[in-house]
A = this chain, B = another copy of it.
């Protein structure tokens, strides 16, 4: 389904970051530690923290990885595919919270170290949208849409997951690889151009071109 006009949405670029459980926070920063809010994020109640950690994998280390608050049930580390090559990990592209079978890593904090068994993912790009707005656009939670961004590196992101809910604020989230590929930055405006049919996002096999 195509929209008769492209629908403008604000862009939020996610750099690598960590969501921590309170148990892991206790180990890394000391028992009963509370995260320090530095800056609110686009989604209500979410914030960037003053605290950062070292993330280590079998091939390399990334320092100063920001923690986002509040704490969650399970610790989750979101990296870009570029980051994954530095760390030497092969994380899957996943929705937030869907961590089963993902690789682990080592988190190093000022008071302790956590050896994560699983929880490293590449975040699937997604649109946060309030239920009321979603309804007006004939979208529902878990739909897929195509989002366009113009300019000299003009790009169409297909297969963007819709995350509709009462607590969501309109924002198109993508990671630094995707942002750099299209020269996007936080605060830019992108455009929803269509709701994908489930099978439409996939380009299937096509004939190899041979010069005549």
Number of identical monomers bound together in the oligomeric complex: 2
Report the interface size for chain A: residues with CB under 8 A from the other chain.
51
Residues of B within 8 A of A93 (CB): 152-153, 183
Q: Which residue of B lies closest to A81 (CB)?
A: B180
Tell me if A203 and B136 are in contact (CB < 8 A): no
A180 and B9 within 8 A (CB): no
Smallest CB separation, A9 vs chain B (Å): 7
Known interface pairs A82-B176, A159-B154, A211-B133. Does A206 touch B191 (Cβ–Cβ under 8 Å)? yes
Specify which chain B residues have a CB less than 8 angstroms from the CB of A82 in the assembled complex. Answer: 82, 176-177, 180
Considering the chains assembled together, what is the distance between the CA atoms of A183 and B177 in angstroms? 10
Q: Give a binary string over A53-75; 1 marks a CB under 8 Å from any B CB, 0 the rest.
A: 00000000000000000000000
Let me know if A150 is at the binding interface, CB within 8 A: yes
Residue of B with least CB distance to A136: B212
